Structure 1
């Protein structure tokens, strides 16, 4: 069995079309078909349901697909690992980040790049559920997400910091004159929050319920960029992670106030697939962040309010 035969099979399963799969594999259709027949002979099972065109995979083919994807990832990881020993780590780290943690991702990417200057980073804004799917499907090497609330499965976790919540608004909003605000005050405002498929929103709804209020946002968005746009216009306010203070603390147009009530915090950290060994990019990120806590960095501490 050759690795390239598995690659042809995975491509065909994804494209569901012989001609397109052959084109993407840079081979003729007859070469692709011959490789698949050889794969079936080696495994002694039928993998593809055929007539004049691709119909689908057999039950055995579906099982092989899961194995083939993992084998190809391991093969690529092996090549990257051996190459990295000679020339240093190259390639791309694919990192999934929940929107609420985007304010912290710059600290991680800077630390990673200091250790591996020839590597690049691709950051994807994903929900926690999409991060789970991305790790399971080998589409990302790591995720930055909530560790304790709705925890992911089959992952190893590295805590980085604790998320707490503040109220953000325009500097000319009436609540900007307050030293602190209550959850009751916040719930009575024209709110713009993340949409309900985002874990941050589900956390906020749970906290509001604990304080005896209900959050009824006028506008919802699956991006904090959409939230920020509404904070600048229309008198909206939003309950946001305290990392907003680090990102926008120097913006005169926005005001951010702490809540008067003691509010539970959520642990944010990195998650990696629970495999050994880890892919080289994931392993490099893990090494770069071991014993590293964002809350201990001077820049992070400067973003926090005085006691």
Structure 2
């Protein structure tokens, strides 16, 4: 039944029989047959059927909750037994908000040094995508904001507090200042992250509280793109202090603290709340707590 539950989760996630079959590595008829067999075993209809996938029935929604719990427990058991036989090994999938990507090596490097048989993949996602992908087993952990928007049922470890700088070129407005205010942002030629990013919503909130309304001249979901435009000398941006310093600016770029207020928001590691955790996630949470306790992030 575990395989059928995994197929069912894939179908609910993809919302399409063909894509779910492709993701599961089976043919579409085989996936359809597995879902029908699951319905027969449980004695309820799970999927609203028509000429295409039309969603889950109320019973299907409830079974989906159980399926995620059962499949998660089964995966945890398999990982724990494998770790008992061979030691900690495997692959960890992490998604991070763009502003946290530069900080990921502070977590992955010491972890990999302790556990050389573990590999990583790291992707950039917005905060909502991180929570959704955790819930759908598409990632193992996320790095996102902890104190600004609801997180739901997750386990979290604070890593650092994000504060904000005006990043601008030498010779541009305010470049000779030691500090600037949120009100000073009103007439700058700004490039910022896209509105789907929580960092942008945070920046918008502080600007609104300062009575400032802005219209960015450029938006991107990539910090690299924003930094490249600042480097031309014709743009400025608002960036977290850790990002501003981690990229090693040239002498022609300045990062100036924004005050009144000097805002900060906590960023940390999140994982789906469950007991027990998989050995890999448990070890990653432990590494995050070590990093938090050292206070170096």
Query: What is the match of residue 290 of structure 1?
Result: 289
Cα distance in 1, alignment partners of residues 212 and 56 from structure 2? 52
Cα distance in 2, alignment partners of residues 98 and 169 from structure 1? 22
Cα distance in 1, alignment partners of residues 22 and 231 from structure 2? 51
Write out the 4+ residue segments of structure 1 that deviate beyond 6 Å after TM superposition. 49-56
More off after superposition, 217-226 vs 12-21: 12-21
- Cα deviation, residue 32, structure 1: 7.1
Q: Number of aligned pairs? A: 296
- Cα deviation, residue 75, structure 1: 1.5
Aligned residues of 2:107 and 2:291 also touching (Cα < 8 A):
no
Query: What is the match of residue 21 of structure 1?
Result: 21
**Mapping for residues 211-230 of structure 1, pairs under 5 Å:** 211-230=210-229
Cα distance in 1, alignment partners of residues 193 and 20 from structure 2? 39
Cα distance in 1, alignment partners of residues 291 and 30 from structure 2? 53
Query: What is the match of residue 166 of structure 2?
Result: 167
| Shift in CA distance, 245/223, structure 1 to aligned 2, threshold 3 Å | closer
- Cα deviation, residue 51, structure 1: 8.8
Note the residue ranges of structure 1 that are not aligned, 5 or more in a row.
301-307
**TM-score, with length taken from structure 2:** 0.84
**Mapping for residues 173-188 of structure 1, pairs under 5 Å:** 173-188=172-187
More off after superposition, 167-176 vs 6-15: 6-15
Note the residue ranges of structure 2 that are not aligned, 5 or more in a row.
none
- Cα deviation, residue 264, structure 1: 2.2
The structure having more radius of gyration, on CA atoms, is: 1
The 3-state SS of whatever aligns with 2:105 is: helix
| Shift in CA distance, 42/184, structure 1 to aligned 2, threshold 3 Å | closer
| Shift in CA distance, 244/29, structure 1 to aligned 2, threshold 3 Å | closer
Aligned residues of 2:182 and 2:206 also touching (Cα < 8 A):
no
RMSD over aligned Cα atoms: 3.2
The 3-state SS of whatever aligns with 2:174 is: helix
- Cα deviation, residue 223, structure 1: 2.0
**TM-score, with length taken from structure 1:** 0.82
- Cα deviation, residue 165, structure 1: 0.6
The 3-state SS of whatever aligns with 1:71 is: helix
Cα distance in 1, alignment partners of residues 249 and 18 from structure 2? 56
